[in-house]
Amino acid sequence: MKDILTISRTAVLLAALCLAGCFSIERGHIWTTGEEHVLASNYGWYLFDFIPLACGNTNTAPLMPWVIFRNDVTMGKVQTRFMEYVNGMKKDVKNLTYTSYDSVMFEIPGSNIPVPIPYLLTYREIQLSGVLVDKKESVK
């Protein structure tokens, strides 16, 4: 009986880790202009579209890549980390755009089959992207 409980707890923990949110900063070099494109994104899962369950950790030096019961999927937190990166590179940013995505129907992972109970488990994602330029270039 103890083995079954241990296995089920481990399975629940692994499922939670797979569904946990993720914060990332991705960069790409634009070869034609010599500039760098940066994309910062964070996503998370919510209960009833209000109670944060798990999302990406936006702290500068996180111990874990995700946090539970804390809402880090906000424009302010993603923008703060994005600007920390930009300032650390000693650059300015142009063509700043954002995308916000909310899904109130939970879909079974690996399929497009929604669970017919809206707002039970919802998904939220924020992406912020821009092109880094030299400080003197952005003044023009």
Question: 35 and 42 in contact (C-beta within 8 Å)?
Answer: no
Identify which of 37-51, 61-75, 103-117 has the greatest average pLDDT: 37-51
Q: Which residues contact 76 (CB under 8 A, 6 or more apart)?
A: none
Residue pLDDT, tens place only, 49-59: 889 988 999 98
Buried b (16+ CB within 10 A) or exposed e, 49-61: eeebbbbbbbeee
Distance CA(57)–CA(67), nearest Å, equals: 5
| 71 pLDDT above the threshold of 90 | yes
Considering the entire predicted model, what is its pTM? Answer: 0.76
Residue pLDDT, tens place only, 91-116: 999 999 999 998 887 776 677 777 77
